[in-house]
Chains A and B, each alone.
Chain A
Amino acid sequence: MSIIAFFVIASFTLPEKIGTEPKSLLWLLPLAAAITVVYKATKLPKITAGNFIKESALLLGSMVVFIIAIALGLYVLAWLIIE
C-alpha cells in the first residue's frame, strides 16, 4: 500500500457517533454484504458479472431473511415469557 494511502487511513482518528437504538444494527448489513461477496468470489468456479451478482444477492438475501426470522422468533419467545 502506498505511503499516501497509509496517511489517509491513519487520519481516521475520530470515531463515528453510533447510538444504542435498534437502527444501529443496520451497520451490520454492509458487513454481511462483504462476507457474501468474498465468499462467492472464492467459491464460484467461473466468475461472470451476471452470475456473480445473482449468486451474491441470493446469498445475502437468504442471510438477511434468516436473521430476520431468528429475530422474530426471539421476539415472540420473549413476549411469551413476559406476558
Chain B
Amino acid sequence: MPRYSKENNILFLLIVGFLAWLIPGAGHLVLKEKKRAIIIFVTIALTFCMGLYIGSIGVIDLFGTAAIYVKVAQVMNPPIAVILGYQTIGGAYPVYGWPNEVGQVYIMTSGLLNLLCIVNAVYLAYLQRMGMAGG
C-alpha cells in the first residue's frame, strides 16, 4: 500500500483544487470520478454561457464598481471570467436593467457552484488519500 508524506498530501490537494478551479470538473476527473466530472463541467459551462448570453460579457464586472460579493462570486468562475473581465474594463459593454440582473445572477451562481465543486473535489481527494494511507 503506498504511503504519502504530509507535504505530498497537501501538494496533491492543492493541485486538485487548482485544477478544479481551472476547468470545472477537472478535479473530479483527476480522482477518476468521470461521470461527476462530465456533469459538473457541462452544467457549470452552460450556466456561465447562459449568463453571458442573457446579459452579454458586460455583466462581468471584476474591476468596476460592482459590490465586493459580486466580484468574489464571479472570480470563482474559471479564469476565462477574469480574461473577459479585462475586456469589459471601463464599461466597454454597458448592460442595464433586468438583463444585467439576471445575467449577473447566472454568472455569480456558476462561480459559486464551481466553488462548491472545488471544495468537494479537495474533500474527495483527502478521503481517497486517507483511505490509501489506511486512515
Contacts and interface: CB of A to CB of B under 8 A. Distances in A.
**Residue among A19, A28, A37, A42 with max Cβ neighbours from chain B (10 Å):** A42
A22 to B, nearest CB: 12
Interface residues of A, number: 27
B14 interface: no
A77 B43 CA distance: 37
B80 A1 contact: yes
Interface residues of B, number: 40
A18 B57 contact: no
A39 interface: yes
Contacts of A14: 56
A42 B36 contact: yes
Contacts of B49: 9, 12
A17 B83 CA distance: 25
A18 B54 contact: yes
B36 A13 contact: no
B120 interface: yes
Contacts of A18: 54, 97-99, 102
9 contacts: A12-B53, A19-B98, A24-B102, A31-B105, A35-B109, A37-B39, A39-B116, A41-B39, A42-B117
Given A15-B99, A34-B44, 10 more contacts: A1-B78, A1-B80, A6-B83, A9-B49, A9-B57, A16-B53, A18-B99, A34-B110, A39-B116, A47-B35
Interface of B: 23, 35-36, 39-40, 43-44, 46-47, 49-50, 52-59, 78, 80, 83-84, 87, 93, 95, 97-100, 102-103, 105-106, 109-110, 113, 116-117, 120
